[in-house]
Structure formats: structure tokens, C-alpha cells
């Protein structure tokens, strides 16, 4: 693939991928149900968590500027099976989430123009089960048009993303200005219903963290930027700015947006203000969300195509998916196949059905990448004993799981506070012992996560905590598709991959990419 992306392209992709429709919906829900006006702090905490994960992605992307993102990183670190299991779940989640996003585009576009999308733009088919009986041709058209765009050119897709993202940011800026101009500061402490809890922290500190778990999903999307590393002109400079810069910029936008909405209406009445003269805000939100959906869909489909392309290069799925068109320099087969699958699902599957199938795969991959960056720093295959590092990762994750279970299921009181404090002390102690006793085996040549191993360890802890906030259907979906991925791996992938052919390391069919990997390996060995 051609190296024609710069840091501003990556920032644009990162912002476009994260700032979708979620900011309009999630802010109101998190404020009303969990955090109240302190949802501003929820966004700041979630932004910090996203930034820590972004650091882990950045180290890998700079050290190995190849397409494929997390799949490539995990295959290098933990082997083919772990990479395929997480990559397959992530790709399937991409398809379902993109179908959900496309369906929501129809709804938000209807809100923008003041019509009911279900009644006017969708066709109800009698005889089909509920949740699968509303045909949405607009969603299909959006997916297919974006698929054509990403097949045509990555650089032109970046230009289109910049335009759509700029329009979306204008809508967000409008809501922010209106909120600070026409809003009332008393809404930060007084609810509309006097019987509801009042104050800036109406649900306490725990509500702020529960709100952070909900709004964190609004940050998902920056990981797609790392999948484009092979197309970046100067990875050492452009990738850190692109990934981390986009997360910081989006965090500022989200915090301003949350503060504006909290000032505009009380936390228990977010955008329920038809009688208060704020009905027009729904139209503005519909218009802004429509553009945000297009940008997040564009970036997400770019990322998923590169995941599948690199999985095809490894041989664990047919090499047909790895084909890069000689003229457009884009993974056309992967883009077209995934576009058709996404469009087919978006045609008839209801949004609520799809939403139960997303989120867990992405958080699980973030968790795995944070573990991988620690393992790669402290273990050099063949010369370093891996068991101290593996023991640390296991014990630290176990402590995080216990902390999360106590947080979720133990009633509030002194016992809960003591147990949470004990888990925190154990986690910090285990981390400090590992930091003192185990030396690093690999120092990145260009860019590395600072304060190793503290930052990736905090990322591990936070991702486990956020995984604990997801519902049962998410875990059922994850278990089902994980079992399906294992079945495919056993029956097909293990017999056809390059590892099975004796390479024992990450290579791919195309000669130019193989030479690039060899150069990277030589540089790492010298380090």
C-alpha cells in the first residue's frame, strides 16, 4: 500500500472515528442515569483511559509500521492463535457495529428533517420476526457508497473524512456555544425534579466512574488509525501525533460538550425539553449526528478492511482477502466483502438487536494489546525467562477482576470500601515488585510507552473494570464467536497459515511487505 498519509490525516481519521453519534446519545444517558452534571469528569476519566491504551498502540505502530493493527501486534507477541481469536472477534464486531451505525444514520437523518424514519423510509415486512422485519435501503446505500470510496483511494477517503468531520465539528461547536450562552449555571446543581438527588455529584463518586464506563464507548475508534500504519509516510513522527493527538482533541471536545449540555438543561431532563422551547435542538442533533455517523462509518470500514487484509496475508484465512489493487493501492477484496456483509445485515436487522453484539471485542483487544506491550518489553524470546512476566500479568489481571467483581456486586458500605482498598494495595504492590525485580529486555528505538510498566498496567486495570460493566448478552456473543473462531482455526487456519508452513514468524505473501518486515526485525535484533 502507498505511503501517502501524514499526521493530520491520522488526526482526522481518529477524530472522525471517535466523534460519531454516540456523543449526543451517551452524554444524556450517562448524566441522567449515573453521573449527573459530573458527567464532565466521566468524560475526562474515560479520555485518560483511552489515552493510556493509545500509548500502547502507538509503541507497536511506530516499532512495526505495518497494516493490521492489533492482529499484527498480538501475532508477534503471543502467537498466531491468540491473534486470530482476538482479531476474528474484532472484525465480527466491526461488521455488526457498522451495520448498527448505518441503521442509526436513517433514524438521525429523519430527526434532522423532522420525519419518522420507521414510518416513511423503512419498509415493514409482515411475517418476519420482530427485530428483523424492517427493511432499510438507505442504510444499505450508505454502506455501499462508503465501500466504493475506500476501495477507490485511501488519500481521497482521508479528504472526504476531513470534510465530513469538519461539518460534524461545526454542529458540535454550535451546541457548545448555545449551551454556554443560553444555559443556566444552576443546572449544574439543581435537577428539574426536586425529588431527585441534587448537587454536582448527585450519585456520588461511584456514579462518576459508572458514567465513565458508559461514555468510554464514545472513544472507541482511535484503534482503527493504527491499522493504517503501513500507509504513513513518517511513522516515527506521524503515528504518535495522530493517535495520541486525536484522543486528546476528542477528550477536550467531549468535556466541553458535556459541560454545555449540563448547563443547557438539568441532568434529569436532557433534551426532553419540547415544552421548554428546546425542541429545535433535536433537529440540530439529528443533523450533526448524521455527519458524525458517516465519518465513524468511513474510518471503521477502513480499519476493518486492513485487519482482514493482514489476516489474509498470514494465511489463516484465504489469501484472496489480502489482495491489494495495483492502481488504487487499497485492499479491494477485503473492503468489498466486508461492505457487502455489513450492508446485508444493515438491510433487515434492528438497531437494538445489533447493539447487544458490540463493544466487548474492542475492549478485550485493548486489554490484550496492553498485556502485549509489557510482555514484549520484558521478554526476549530465546534469551529471557518469560515466567516472571507471565506471572505478573496473570496476578495483576486477577486482582483487577476481583476489584471489578467487588465494585459491581458488593453492597455499599465499609466492607466494600475495605475490599476495594485491599485490592488496590495488592495491585500496586504486585506492580512495584515486578518493576523493581524484572529488568526490561527490549527498549524501543524510536518511541515507547513512558513510565513502563505503570501506564500499560493501569490500562489493563481500567479495561478489566470497563469489561465488568458490560451486560450478559455481550459475553454470550463473545463466547459464541470465540467458539466459532476456534472451530475455523482448527479446521482451516492451522493447516494453511505461514506458521504451519514452518516460518514460525510473521510474514506475508507479497514480497515488498515481507522485505519490510525483515528490515524491521533486523532493526529490533540490533536494538
Residue 265: CATH number of its domain: 1.20.1740.10
Query: For residue 275, is pLDDT > 60?
Result: no
**Could you tell me the three cell numbers for 426?**
495488592
pLDDT digits (tens, 9 = 90+) for 314-335: 888 888 888 888 888 888 999 9
Query: For residue 409, is pLDDT > 90?
Result: no
CB 243 within 8 A of CB 61: yes
Considering the domain boundaries, does residue 508 fall inside one? no
User: What percent of the chain is helix, strand and coil (3-state, nearest 5)?
Assistant: 75, 0, 25
Rounded-to-integer distance, Cα 45 and Cα 208, Å: 9
The contacts of residue 382 (CB under 8 Å, 6+ apart) are none
Q: Looking at per-residue confidence, does 366 or 198 come out higher?
A: 366
Rounded-to-integer distance, Cα 40 and Cα 167, Å: 24
Quickly tell me which residue has 510498566 as its cell: 453
Half-sphere exposure of 227 (CA within 13 A, CB side): 29
**What is residue 459's predicted lDDT score, i.e. its pLDDT?**
92
Considering the domain boundaries, does residue 88 fall inside one? yes
Q: Looking at per-residue confidence, does 456 or 163 come out higher?
A: 456
Rounded-to-integer distance, Cα 497 and Cα 205, Å: 49
Considering the domain boundaries, does residue 425 fall inside one? no
Domain count, the chain: 1
DSSP H or E segment with residue 197:
none
Considering the domain boundaries, does residue 406 fall inside one? no
Helices (H) and strands (E) in the chain, counts: 21, 2
Rounded-to-integer distance, Cα 24 and Cα 32, Å: 13
* Pairing assessment for the beta strands 123-124 and 134-135 based on DSSP bridges: antiparallel
Considering the domain boundaries, does residue 124 fall inside one? no
- The boundaries of the domain holding residue 276 are 7-118+129-363
Rounded-to-integer distance, Cα 40 and Cα 288, Å: 20
Considering the domain boundaries, does residue 284 fall inside one? yes
**What is residue 119's predicted lDDT score, i.e. its pLDDT?**
67
Rounded-to-integer distance, Cα 263 and Cα 283, Å: 19
The CA distances from residue 470 to 170, 217, 370, in Å, are 32, 11, 20
Rounded-to-integer distance, Cα 265 and Cα 281, Å: 11
**What is residue 419's predicted lDDT score, i.e. its pLDDT?**
93
Q: What is the pTM of this model?
A: 0.80
pLDDT band at residue 498 under the 50/70/90 scheme: low
- Identify whether 327 is preceded by a cis peptide bond (ω within 30 of 0): no
pLDDT digits (tens, 9 = 90+) for 235-245: 888 888 888 88
**Range with lowest mean pLDDT among 150-159, 463-472, 503-512:** 503-512
Residue 356 CA to chain centroid, in angstroms?
16
Burial (0-12, 13-18, 19+ Cβ within 10 Å), 277: exposed
Rounded-to-integer distance, Cα 60 and Cα 69, Å: 8
Closest CA to 108 of 355, 351, 353: 351
**What is residue 150's predicted lDDT score, i.e. its pLDDT?**
85
Considering the domain boundaries, does residue 372 fall inside one? no
Query: For residue 193, is pLDDT > 70?
Result: yes
- What is the percent of the chain where pLDDT is above 70? 86
Burial (0-12, 13-18, 19+ Cβ within 10 Å), 260: buried
Query: For residue 403, is pLDDT > 60?
Result: yes
Considering the domain boundaries, does residue 317 fall inside one? yes
Query: For residue 309, is pLDDT > 80?
Result: yes
**Could you tell me the three cell numbers for 481?**
464467536
Amino acid at each position: 500500500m502507498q505511503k501517502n498519509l501524514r499526521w493530520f490525516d491520522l488526526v482526522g481519521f481518529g477524530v472522525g472515528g471517535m466523534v460519531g453519534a454516540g456523543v449526543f446519545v451517551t452524554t444524556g444517558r450517562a448524566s441522567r442515569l449515573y453521573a449527573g452534571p459530573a458527567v464532565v469528569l466521566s468524560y475526562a476519566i474515560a479520555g485518560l483511559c483511552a489515552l493510556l491504551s493509545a500509548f500502547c498502540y502507538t509503541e507497536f505502530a511506530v516499532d512495526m509500521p505495518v497494516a493490521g493493527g492489533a492482529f499484527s501486534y498480538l501475532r508477534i507477541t503471543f502467537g498466531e492463535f491468540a491473534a486470530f481469536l482476538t482479531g476474528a472477534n474484532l472484525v465480527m464486531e466491526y461488521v455488526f457495529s457498522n451495520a448498527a451505525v448505518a441503521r442509526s444514520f436513517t433514524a438521525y437523518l429523519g430527526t434532522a428533517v423532522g420525519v419518522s424514519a420507521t414510518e416513511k423510509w423503512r419498509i415493514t415486512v409482515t411475517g418476519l420476526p420482530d427485530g428483523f422485519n424492517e427493511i432499510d435501503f438507505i442504510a444499505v446505500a450508505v454502506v455501499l457508497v462508503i465501500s466504493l470510496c475506500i476501495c477507490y483511494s485511501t488519500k481521497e477517503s482521508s479528504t472526504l473524512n476531513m470534510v465530513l468531520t469538519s461539518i460534524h465539528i461545526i454542529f458540535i461547536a454550535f451546541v457548545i456555544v448555545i449551551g454556554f450562552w443560553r444555559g443556566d449555571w444552576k443546572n449544574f446543581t439543581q435537577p428539574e425534579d426536586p425529588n431527585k438527588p441534587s448537587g454536582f455529584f448527585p450519585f456520588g463518586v461511584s456514579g462518576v466512574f459508572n458514567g465513565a464506563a458508559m461514555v468510554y464507548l464514545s472513544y472507541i475508534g482511535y484503534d482503527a488509525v493504527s491499522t493504517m500504519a503501513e500507509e504513513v509516510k513518517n511513522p516515527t513522527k506521524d503515528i504518535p501525533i495522530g493517535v495520541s493527538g486525536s484522543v486528546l482533541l476528542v477528550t477536550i471536545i467531549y468535556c466541553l460538550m458535556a459541560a454545555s449540555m449540563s448547563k443547557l438543561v438539568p441532568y434529569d431532563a436532557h433534551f426532553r425539553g419540547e415544552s421548554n422551547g428546546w425542541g429545535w435542538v433535536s433537529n440540530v442533533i439529528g443533523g450533526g449526528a448524521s455527519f458524525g455517523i458517516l465519518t465513524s462509518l468511513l474510518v471503521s470500514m477502513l480499519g476493518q478492511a486492513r485487519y482482514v487484509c493482514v489476516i489474509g496475508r498470514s494465511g489463516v484465512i484465504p489469501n484472496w482477502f489480502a489482495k491489494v489493487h495495483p492502481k488504487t493501492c487499497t485492499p479491494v477484496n477485503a473492503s468489498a466483502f466486508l461492505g457487502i456483509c455489513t450492508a446485508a445485515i444493515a438491510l433487515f436487522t434492528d438497531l437494538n438487536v445489533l447493539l447487544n453484539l458490540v463493544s466487548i471485542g474492542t475492549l478485550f483487544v485493548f486489554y490484550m494489546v496492553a498485556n502485549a506491550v509489557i510482555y514484549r518489553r520484558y521478554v526476549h524470546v530465546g534469551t529471557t525467562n518469560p515466567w516472571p512476566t507471565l506471572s505478573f500479568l496473570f496476578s495483576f489481571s486477577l486482582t483487577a477482576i476481583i476489584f471489578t467483581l467487588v465494585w459491581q456486586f458488593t453492597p455499599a458500605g465499609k466492607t466494600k470500601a475495605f475490599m476495594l482498598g485491599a485490592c488496590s494495595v495488592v495491585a500496586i504492590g504486585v506492580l512495584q515488585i515486578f518493576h523493581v525485580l524484572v529488568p526490561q529486555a527490549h527498549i524501543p528505538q524510536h518511541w515507547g510507552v513512558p513510565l513502563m510498566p505503570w501506564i500499560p498496567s493501569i490500562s489493563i486495570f481500567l479495561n478489566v473494570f470497563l469489561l465488568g460493566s458490560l451486560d450478559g448478552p455481550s459475553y454470550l456473543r463473545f463466547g459464541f464467536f470465540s467458539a466459532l473462531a476456534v472451530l475455523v482455526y482448527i479446521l482451516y487456519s492451522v493447516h494453511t497459515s505461514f506458521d504451519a508452513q514452518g516460518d514460525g514468524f510473521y510474514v506475508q505473501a507479497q514480497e515488498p511487505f515481507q522485505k519490510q518486515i525483515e528490515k524491521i526485525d533486523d532493526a529490533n535484533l540490533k536494538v
